[in-house]
């Protein structure tokens, strides 16, 4: 595909985003330098490097603040997630127009995945968050009877409801589905015909294993990808064997070194996903850095129309990771260093389990249980899901010191992904 065709895919998105941000976020104009250009929306061209990347540090300085003017606007929806370096929990705002666009785009994606009229019953077993809050409406608009399970219910109740309601479609997170499969002697007896995933990395091998356990073809397990900042971003197309971006988004891939945060180099073919949205009003989604690493980002032809796509989601880098809900490395550090003055930490993701490795010269053993308990309650939603058995407990391990392992992890805010699970 030519560069001209690629740019034609995304140019309208960038133009709309620049125009909207100029009206909604006065701080952005001075921070980015766009305020010095009267023709910013008309003269984007291909010089995207004139627009800075919107990183976590920029958002902490200008958006996740106590004096964000949006906090005074009563008509906005508010969604909270993990903390920042200041200890403040993030608030992401949605306007009524954002909510409407979110529902429209999600509905279009689910209609593509599930078709119309093929399934009669759906169950949302989601934990918390924006995806859970809108799932019932989406399934009802697709003509299905739907039941939503509370993340506060014990895993035994989830199993009972699956056996009783017998949903044909199960919408859930990989970590919750892991717990369901572990607690079910015959998971293929629930009558599930299609699983739709969201919220955490789901590798092809993991999806294959899930399909086998549920007695489904590979096409019966479909991954979707989104974030609270953007909404529904992409879904896996079994037809093309790739993730396809949803309407209203433009994607770029950048090297980790371009973020200026001393992040680890990526493998060949891997890039950090950067998104621009033509529909988001209450979030400055212009060259927003997701910190998600994808492989083979490129446009393809879908029914004769250029469509941006990528092969797979590899991992997250930067300050946040997922364990049922987002949890920040800042949250982890604050808990550890409150109890251990001198310590080195490594955060590791093994499958859908979070492991925290701690080394302290004075010894960390007596504090490990307290650190785990406090960390699990740091994000209340995570603590409740662990108490109900939907999430595995965070594993806190006393580690031996090895300079090659610990040296870069504090400075680079790294998360280690166990080989074979990403």
Which range of 198-202, 248-252, 365-369, 397-401 scores highest in mean pLDDT? It is 248-252
What's the pLDDT score for residue 145?
A: 96
Residues 103-135: tens digit of each pLDDT: 999 999 999 999 988 999 999 998 666 677 788
Measure Cα distances from 23 to 19, 29, 283, 284 in Å. Answer: 7, 9, 12, 11
For residue 421, pLDDT over 50 is answered with: no
Residue 242 near residue 309 (C-beta atoms within 8 A): yes
- The answer on pLDDT for 253 being more than 90 is yes
**Minimum mean pLDDT range among 8-17, 79-88, 231-240, 327-336:** 79-88
How high is the pLDDT of residue 420?
A: 41
- Tens of pLDDT along 39-75? 555 555 446 777 899 998 899 899 998 888 998 898 9
Instruction: Confirm if 192 and 170 have CB atoms less than 8 A apart.
Output: yes
In terms of DSSP bridges, do strands 353-359 and 395-398 run parallel, antiparallel, or are they unpaired? parallel
Considering only residues 242 and 206, tell me which one the structure prediction assigns the higher pLDDT.
242
Q: Give the Cβ contact number of residue 35 at 10 Å.
A: 14
- Residue 113: predicted pLDDT: 96
For 76-97, the pLDDT digits (tens) are 998 887 766 556 678 999 999 9
Q: State the pLDDT at residue 408.
A: 40
Question: Could you report the per-residue pLDDT of 363-403, keeping only the tens digit for each?
Answer: 888 888 888 888 888 777 788 788 878 788 888 888 875 54
Residue 163 CA to chain centroid, in angstroms?
29
Q: Average pLDDT of the chain? A: 84
- Higher model confidence: residue 342 or residue 189? 189
Is the confidence at residue 406, as pLDDT, over 50?
A: no
CB half-sphere exposure, 311, CA atoms < 13 A: 7
Q: Strand (E) positions, 296-364?
A: 298-302, 305-310, 312-316, 320-323, 325-328, 344-350, 353-359
Structure tokens at 417: 């992904």
Residue 270 has pLDDT above 50, yes or no: yes
171-180 pLDDT tens trace: 998 888 988 9
Domains of the chain: 3-94+241-316 (no CATH), 98-228 (3.40.50.980), 320-417 (3.30.300)
């Amino acid at each position: 595909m030519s560069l001209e065709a690629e740019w034609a895919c995304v140019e309208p998105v960038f133009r709309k985003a620049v125009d909207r941000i100029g009206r909604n976020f006065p701080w952005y104009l001075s921070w980015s330098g766009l305020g010095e250009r009267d023709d910013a929306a008309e003269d984007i061209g291909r010089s995207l490097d004139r627009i800075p990347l919107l990183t976590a540090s920029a958002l902490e300085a200008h958006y996740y603040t106590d004096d964000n003017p949006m906090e005074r606007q009563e008509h906005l929806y508010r969604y909270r997630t993990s903390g920042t370096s200041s200890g403040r929990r993030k608030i992401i705002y949605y306007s009524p127009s954002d909510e409407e666009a979110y529902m429209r785009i999600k509905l279009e994606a689910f209609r593509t995945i599930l078709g119309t009229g093929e399934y009669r019953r759906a169950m949302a077993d989601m934990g918390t968050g924006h995806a859970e809050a809108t799932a019932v409406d989406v399934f009802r608009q697709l003509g299905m009877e739907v039941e939503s399970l509370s993340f506060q219910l014990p895993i035994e109740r989830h199993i009972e409801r699956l056996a009783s309601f017998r949903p044909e479609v199960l919408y859930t997170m990989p970590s919750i589905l892991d717990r369901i499969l572990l607690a079910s002697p015959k998971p293929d007896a629930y009558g599930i015909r299609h699983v739709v995933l969201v919220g955490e990395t789901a590798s092809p091998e993991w999806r294959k294993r899930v399909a086998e356990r549920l007695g489904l073809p590979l096409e019966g397990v479909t991954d979707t990808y989104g974030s609270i900042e953007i909404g529904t971003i992409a879904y896996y197309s079994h037809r093309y064997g790739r993730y396809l971006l949803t309407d209203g988004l433009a994607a770029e891939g950048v090297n980790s070194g371009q973020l200026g945060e001393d992040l680890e180099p990526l493998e060949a073919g891997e890039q950090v996903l950067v998104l621009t949205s033509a529909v988001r009003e209450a979030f400055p989604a212009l060259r927003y850095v997701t910190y998600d690493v994808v492989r083979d980002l490129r446009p393809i032809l879908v029914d004769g129309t250029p469509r941006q796509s990528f092969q797979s989601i590899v991992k997250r880098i930067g300050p946040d990771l997922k364990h049922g809900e987002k949890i920040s490395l800042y949250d982890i550090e604050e808990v550890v260093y409150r109890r251990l003055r001198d310590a080195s930490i490594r955060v590791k993701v093994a499958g859908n389990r979070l492991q925290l490795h701690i080394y302290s010269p004075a010894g960390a053993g007596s504090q490990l249980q307290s650190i785990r308990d406090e960390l699990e309650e740091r994000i209340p939603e995570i603590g409740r899901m662990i108490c109900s058995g939907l999430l595995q407990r965070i594993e806190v391990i006393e580690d031996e010191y090895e300079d090659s392992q610990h040296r870069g992890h504090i400075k680079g805010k790294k998360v280690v992904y166990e080989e074979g699970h990403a």
